[in-house]
């Protein structure tokens, strides 16, 4: 028995609608976090733009399939941990905002980014993801972390990105390449 074409198209649309619904689930929490961090840091434009980039990357990764869903989750965990660490540091050491300790706070952002890069590389190594999934997880992690560091300025953001990349590279060199598909 052959399935009519109209029924096949309707089933395909339902399937794709379900995938899109699943992929869009984390958009509201990501944008809520971006709004809170933009209010807290006073850098509304930068935080909200980073929030849109992170939400788009998470949606694209989750729509791609199970491997992308896991990579998006890991990227949000790493980036969120870095952002929360920086926010907690700035709350405990208010001199970071005043410029007196900005260099040290930026260095702390880089150190946390280094640890995040090592953890992300180690976590993704066990799954053997595709190159696109690796890049997507890195974009999500960097974007989410940058939302927390944006109040410290461009130097802290560059230090965070460089340290995370160095941590990822060091972990890959130490434990071996994840051998993408």
Rounded CA-CA distance 42/5 in Å is 54
Cα 127 from chain centre: 18
Rounded CA-CA distance 106/108 in Å is 5
What are the angstrom distances between the C-alpha of 113 and each of 2, 12, 149? Answer: 55, 42, 10
Give pLDDT tens digits for 62-79: 898 888 888 888 888 888
Give pLDDT tens digits for 37-48: 888 777 778 788
pLDDT of residue 105: 66
pLDDT of residue 160: 72
Whole-structure pTM value: 0.75
pLDDT of residue 1: 63
Residues 6+ apart with CB under 8 A from 26: 55, 58, 59, 62, 72, 76
pLDDT of residue 59: 92
Rounded CA-CA distance 138/79 in Å is 9
pLDDT of residue 153: 64
Rounded CA-CA distance 48/43 in Å is 9
Which residues of the chain register pLDDT less than 50? none
């Amino acid at each position: 028995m052959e399935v009519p074409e109209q029924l096949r198209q309707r089933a395909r649309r339902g399937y794709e609608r379900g995938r899109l619904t699943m992929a869009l689930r984390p958009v509201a929490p990501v944008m809520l976090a971006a709004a809170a961090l933009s209010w807290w840091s006073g850098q509304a434009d930068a935080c909200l733009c980073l929030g849109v980039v992170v939400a788009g990357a998470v949606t694209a990764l989750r729509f791609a399939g199970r491997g992308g869903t896991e990579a998006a989750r890991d990227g949000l965990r790493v980036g969120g941990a870095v952002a929360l660490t920086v926010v907690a540091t700035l709350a405990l050491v208010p001199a970071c905002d005043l410029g007196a300790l900005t260099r040290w706070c930026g260095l702390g952002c880089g150190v946390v980014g280094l640890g995040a890069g090592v953890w992300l590389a180690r976590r993704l190594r066990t799954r053997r993801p595709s190159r696109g999934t690796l890049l997507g997880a890195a974009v999500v992690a960097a974007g989410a972390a940058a939302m927390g560091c944006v109040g410290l300025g461009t130097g802290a953001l560059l230090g965070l990105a460089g340290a995370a990349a160095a941590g990822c590279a060091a972990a890959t060199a130490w434990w071996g390449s994840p051998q993408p598909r």
